[in-house]
Amino acid sequence: MPHKNDGEETRLKNPDTMNASRFCIKIFAADGHSAGILDCVPVFHRWIQKQCIENHLLIDVADYSHVWQGPGIVLVSHQANFSTDQEEGRLGLLYQQKQPAEGDLGARVQLALKTSLNAARLLEEDLGGRIKFRGDQVQISLNDRQGAPGGEETLSAIESFVSDLAAKLFPGGNVSFQRAEVGKNRPSVTIRAAEPVEIKTLLERLV
């Protein structure tokens, strides 16, 4: 077995989670939607033509609808990818940040969450209400194996900064946190509110 040096052991025991540069946010679709993921293809192309997502250079659309519980339809931008993710059998809009951003991790995640919620709201409108997104569940995961290699310590660190965001999103305080490793070992925490919340309400609370 290869020997780990002291520096590597320290990094693994104390992951620099707060400096992780890549993360994902998933807004889950509500049950009973009538729109299929292929319906998002013309919508995403229209978003590219009109550059509908603020501070994101929208570039292309990729179709992965043939992949079982895969990314579905992907809207590619320079800064991040948006996809109709079906991981673990749960449809949702997944924001996957690719480029480093300014500010601490909490500020970066809040900005990305605002972008994700805006995209979900736009998708609801452009699909004529045939899909709705849940405001009572938000999944935040780190996709940075060097800054956040996984494990209980990383999950605890995520929950620590996510709790501040949860207090802003759900000021009543009646929330719970579900820790998990999703996808290819992405450490994640899902915020769950006890009562249903509209997407537009969450956006108002992030102002």
> Is 112 part of a structural domain of the chain?
yes
> Is 10 part of a structural domain of the chain?
no
> Is 3 part of a structural domain of the chain?
no
> Is 201 part of a structural domain of the chain?
yes
pLDDT interval class at 6 (50, 70, 90): very low
Q: How far is CA 13 from the centre of its chain?
A: 26
> Is 5 part of a structural domain of the chain?
no
Domain span at residue 56?
22-205
* pLDDT (tens digit per residue) in 150-171: 567 777 777 777 888 899 999 9
- Give the number of domains in the chain: 1
> Is 7 part of a structural domain of the chain?
no
123 pLDDT above the threshold of 90? yes
Spatial contact of 178 and 155, defined as CB atoms under 8 Å apart: no
